[in-house]
Structure 1
Amino acid sequence: MTFAPQIQIPATYMRGGTSKGVFFNLEDLPEACKVAGPARDAMLLRVIGSPDPYKKQTDGMGGATSSTSKTVIVSKSSKSDHDVDYLFGQVSIDKPFVDWSGNCGNLTAAVGSFAISNGLVDANRIPENGIATIRIWQKNIQKTIIAQVPVTNGEVQETGDFELDGVTFPAAEVQVEFISPVDSSDAMFPTGNLVDDLEVPGFGTFKVTMINAGIPTIFLNAEAIDYTAAELQADINGDKNALTMFETIRSYGALKMGLIDSIEEAASRQHTPKVAFVGQAKSYTSSSGKEINAGDIDLNVRALSMGLLHHAMMGTAAVAIGTAAVIPGTLVNLAAGGGVRKSATFGHPSGTLKVGAEAVKNKEDWVVNKVVMSRSARVLMKGSVYIPGNVQ
């Protein structure tokens, strides 16, 4: 029996923030994969090693977690006022689908670096030494993101002393600005309320803040579900009842937010919305053994991604946290002490993160001009990925 040989595709394996993913230049993809559709999805699934019933992704580049089962496609921008277009695919670990419904804020930090290193940014926009301002068009959510990428001797500077909780080693700081994360034509609060009552069959009714900023997110109070928001992954991810509760909350929240038309659709939309629970600032020991003092943070937040508690914090969820924190009356704002603020420092399982946000009230609606945070990024490996030639 004859089998098709493997094909190789140029790719770069990168860390961005607290995530890792396989990055592609659109022009390097096989012809059938240069456009969205089954061929592209099949290719990315095989590259990452999904679907894997063992949930290990041993036969692919994935790392068997939501943070490491990611793909990125970058190209020169079709928009004259942007440098590159960025498309993100969240690959399911054990199911045969790629979720294109949202962005990855962590990998966003690596997009500018990848674009510069792969010749996708005009040379006149890159200083010999200094900061390159890379204008990114995030195609999944149709938003502008600005990445401030350090450059030394005309090349991306990846090494440095910036420390990011959730990442073991220091690197160069990359400031990321999410510009107008909510369209003026969209509802930041899809129900029109800062706080809603969400009925979740089998579990009760919860006070929630549902927001579209960075990524659709459902926030609820930790105490309402018998937590403190100081929990670590082991406290949640081994509890099947807890995970079922969170997935049910996510499904009914998605329905109330208008993201799906039926509960059944939630199963095929795993990437969004996110579910997070918040609590007042509380001291705890992070997953790395670092002591987090209540006096150094405004609140604690824990968030789930792809059905499990995240080991740190998703970048897009951090945008939602920062946005909700500066709007008086949301559950996030109240957990942080309430009132008017311009930023919030929150505790997550791996440590802390500060997020700044500019929000103003326009008549009855809130408008967020931008959300800013610092991340880091680094190339881990560059070359080609291989997949069987019969993948389709």
Structure 2
Amino acid sequence: MAHQAQIKIPATYMRGGTSKGVFFRLQDLPEAAQVPGAVRDALLLRVIGSPDPYGKHTDGMGGATSSTSKTVILSKSSRPDHDIDYLFGQVSIDKPFIDWSGNCGNLSAAVGPFAIGNGLVDSSRIPQDGVATVRVWQANIGKTIIAHVPMTQGAVQETGDFVLDGVTFPAAEVQLEFMDPAAEEDGAGGAMFPTGNLVDDLEVPGVGTLKATMINAGIPTVFVNASDIGYTGLELQEAINGDDKALAMFETIRAHGALRMGLISDLSEAGKRQHTPKVAFVGKPANYTASSGKPVAGADIDLVVRALSMGKLHHAMMGTAAVAIGTAAAIPGTLVNLAAGGKERQAVTFGHPSGTLRVGAEAVQDGNDWKVKKAIMSRSARVLMEGWVRVPGEVIQG
């Protein structure tokens, strides 16, 4: 039986924040994959190596975790006052689908460096030395991200001494501004609090009625109190990811939160929308030991947060969820704000499984609504490998 030869596609493997993924220029994809649809999804699934019933991604570029099973497509932007369009695909590990419903805040740090290095940003906007300001249109959620990318002798500076908990080695700092981060998700009408409340009673069958803050900022997120579900907020991955009963509970919370937020119209739709919303649980600051063995002092943080992504506890913190944390912390009365002490603030430092992270956000009340102009945090990014990825030719032949 004859089989088609492999095709090769220009690609770059990059780390951004505590995630990594395969980056493409839109123009480099096979023509049939340059538009959304089944061909594009099939191609990217094969690149990552999904679906993989073994959960290892042995035959692909994925890393068999939610934070390493990601794809990015970039192109020059046709929108005024923007340099590039950024489309993010979260690839399921064991199922044949890609979730296009949200952004990846960590990989957002790599978008500007990739765009500069691959000729997608006008040269007149790139300083020889200093900091390049890259205006990014995040196409998944229709929002603007401003990336501040360090430059040295006309090239992106990747090395440096900026330390990011959850990343092994230091690198150059990339500051990100998430502009007007209240996500305009379908069904949510663009409201930061789609239920109209800072805290709701969320009925979750088999779990109980939980206090919940459901917010659209950075990424739709459902926050609950750690103590209400039998946790402290100091847990590391192994305490939850090896517990099927716990994971099922969090998925049930997520599904019912999605329904209350208007992101789905029926609970059966939750399984087709794994990337959003996120579920996170919060607790008061306390001493604990991070996954690296690093001690985290409760006196150095404002609260602790643990979050799940694609059905598993994240090893650090998703960048978009960090935006949600910073935004919610700035609004008195949310569960996040109350866990952090309940006072007004413009920045918050929280503990996560790998260490700590600081994120800033300034919220203002507009009548009965809340608005936040931008959220700010720092990440880092680095090219790991560049060249071509190869996939069997029949993948794009349908």
- Regarding TM over 0.5, the answer is yes
Question: Residue in 2 aligned with 1:29?
Answer: 29
TM alignment of 1:93-242, pairs within 5 A: 93-182=93-182, 186-242=190-246
2:181 and 2:218 in contact (8 A); partners too: yes
SS in 2 for 1:366: strand
In 2, distance between residues paired with 1:282 and 1:348? 11
The C-alpha deviation readout for 1:182-216, integer Å capped at 9, x for no partner, is: 26961100100000001111111100000000000
Distance 1:191 1:6 in 2: 50
Q: Identify the residue that residue 264 of structure 2 maps to in structure 1.
A: 260
Give SS of 2:304's match. strand
Candidates 305, 315, 319, aligned match of 1:311:
315
Deviations 1:230-249 (A, max 9, x none): 00001111111100100000
In structure 1, what is the Cα distance between the partners aligned to 2:10 and 2:167?
Answer: 26
The letter of the residue matching 1:132 is A
Match 2:365 to one of 350, 361, 368: 361
Counterpart in the other structure of 1:390: 394
- Give the corresponding residue for 2:328: 324
Percentage of matched positions with identical amino acids: 74
The structural deviation recorded for 1:48 is 0.1
2:158 touches 2:171 (CA, 8 Å); kept in 1? yes
For 2:171 and 2:266, locate their aligned partners in 1 and report how far apart those are by CA, in whole Å: 44
CA distance in 2, matches of 1:124, 1:207: 51
Letter in 1 for 2:326: G
Q: How far off its partner does 1:130 sit?
A: 0.1
The answer to whether the 8 Å contact 2:180/2:372 transfers is yes
TM-superposed CA distance for 1:80, in Å, is: 2.0
Report if aligned partners of 2:183, 2:220 keep a CA contact under 8 Å in 1. Answer: no
SS at match of 1:61: coil
> What whole-Å deviation, never above 9, does each CA across 1:29-73 have from its counterpart, x for those lacking one?
000000000000000000000000111111000000000000000
Equivalent residue in structure 1 for 2:297, among 293, 296, 301 = 293
Residue type of the partner of 1:331? L
The alignment's TM-score, normalised by the length of structure 1, stands at 0.99
**Count of paired positions:** 392
Distance 1:266 1:54, change over 3 A: same
- Which whole-Å CA distance do the structure 1 matches of 2:351 and 2:80 have between them? 39
- Segments ≥4 residues shifted beyond 2 Å: none
1: CA distance between counterparts of 2:88 and 2:190? 21
Superposed CA deviations along residues 318-368 of structure 1, whole A, max 9, x for unmatched, are 000000000000000000000110010000000000000011111111100
Structure 1 gaps of 5+ residues are: none
CA contact (8 A) 2:183 2:218 kept: no
**1:250 is matched with which residue?**
254
Aligned-partner Cα distance in 1 for 2:190–2:274: 22
Q: In structure 2, what residue type is equivalent to 1:283?
A: N
TM-score normalised by L of structure 2:
0.98
Query: Is this contact kept in 1: 2:183–2:219, CA < 8 A?
Result: no
* Helix, strand or coil at the partner of 1:44: helix
Shift of 1:290: 0.2
- Tell me the secondary structure at the aligned position of residue 260 of structure 1: coil
Once the two structures are TM-superposed, the CA of residue 136 in structure 1 deviates from its matched residue by: 0.2
- Identify the residue that residue 18 of structure 1 maps to in structure 2: 18
- In 2, distance between residues paired with 1:80 and 1:268? 33
| Distance (whole Å) between structure 2 residues aligned to residue 186 and residue 113 of structure 1 | 30
CA shift digits 1:77-130 (9 cap, x unpaired)? 011210000000000000000000000000000000000000000000000000
* Residue aligned with 1:236, SS: helix
Q: Secondary structure at the match of 1:105?
A: coil
Question: 5+ residue gaps in structure 2?
Answer: none
Q: What code does the residue aligned with 2:230 have?
A: D
Q: Secondary structure at the match of 2:106?
A: helix
- Once residues 375 and 62 of structure 1 are traced to their aligned partners in structure 2, the CA distance between those partners, rounded to angstroms, is 21
Q: Tell me the distance in 1 between the aligned counterparts of 2:139 and 2:175.
A: 20
Q: Which residue of 1 aligns with 2:6?
A: 6
Q: What is the SS of the residue equivalent to 1:252?
A: helix
How many Å separate the matches in 2 of 1:269 and 1:227?
Answer: 26
- SS where residue 182 of structure 2 aligns? coil
Aligned to 2:337: 333
What SS does structure 1 have at the residue aligned with 2:107?
helix
Contact 2:9 2:388 in 1 (8 A): yes
Q: How far apart are the structure 1 equivalents of 2:323 and 2:366?
A: 20
Tell me the secondary structure at the aligned position of residue 95 of structure 2: coil
